[in-house]
Structure 1
Amino acid sequence: MAIFVFLIIFSLMFYLMYKVKYFRTQLPAEKKWLSAKSSIALGSFVFFFGVNSLINPLSTVAIVVGIILLVVGLGSIWAGYKAYRFYLPFAIEEAEAVKEAEMKEKTVMD
């Protein structure tokens, strides 16, 4: 189905976007937070790929591979979501500290 092809491409694009952001940031908590988000996106990619292979199975091997991809994708989504929820408060705290430091630096410069 075309919707699963769209979802596969969409999740792959999000994975690449989060990985680029991961390599561009210097903050450690934000790196882990972005890594968790990219894990969710990659898990979605694998999951939708597995669903797509199960929709129109060509053989028994395709069914087995599809089921394996579904399980691996769901596991990656679950682990990424848990990491996302764990690192989110640290990333927020880190961003606020950086913002405060920039504000202090700006007031000193004036």
Structure 2
Amino acid sequence: MVIFPILIVISIILYVYYKVAILKSKDGLTQHYFNARSRICLGSFVLLFGINQYLFYLTTISLFIGIIFLLLGGYQAYDGFKEVKHYRKEWRRLHPNG
């Protein structure tokens, strides 16, 4: 399964990209938005890493660790999606013509 390592690398690259974008931005709302996007990428990284490790080793201990990673990654991604939705609405409210 070559798809999981590719998705893992893409998600960690996007995580680093959004963290650097936070440093470049001066607007607080944009920083919060990019932080929420980075949480989605971090959550997908952890989630995909947990799936990949279970599929690679296929042991009971990797199943338990994979479940923990799935739960943590799913929570991060879900929370990031909620924050992105909130900050996108807030940005549109403050910039109606933008």
Which residues of structure 1 form unaligned runs of 5+?
100-110
Considering only aligned residues, what root-mean-square deviation do their CA atoms show, in Å? 1.7
Q: Secondary structure at the match of 1:26?
A: coil
Aligned to 1:42: 42
1:20-99 paired onto structure 2 within 5 Å: 20-93=20-93, 96=95
Larger radius of gyration: 1
> Residue type matched to 2:42 in 1?
L
Which residues of structure 2 form unaligned runs of 5+?
none
TM-score in terms of structure 1 length:
0.80
Q: Distance in 2 between matches of 1:62 and 1:89?
A: 40
TM-score in terms of structure 2 length:
0.90
> Residue type matched to 2:28 in 1?
P
1:7-26 paired onto structure 2 within 5 Å: 7-26=7-26
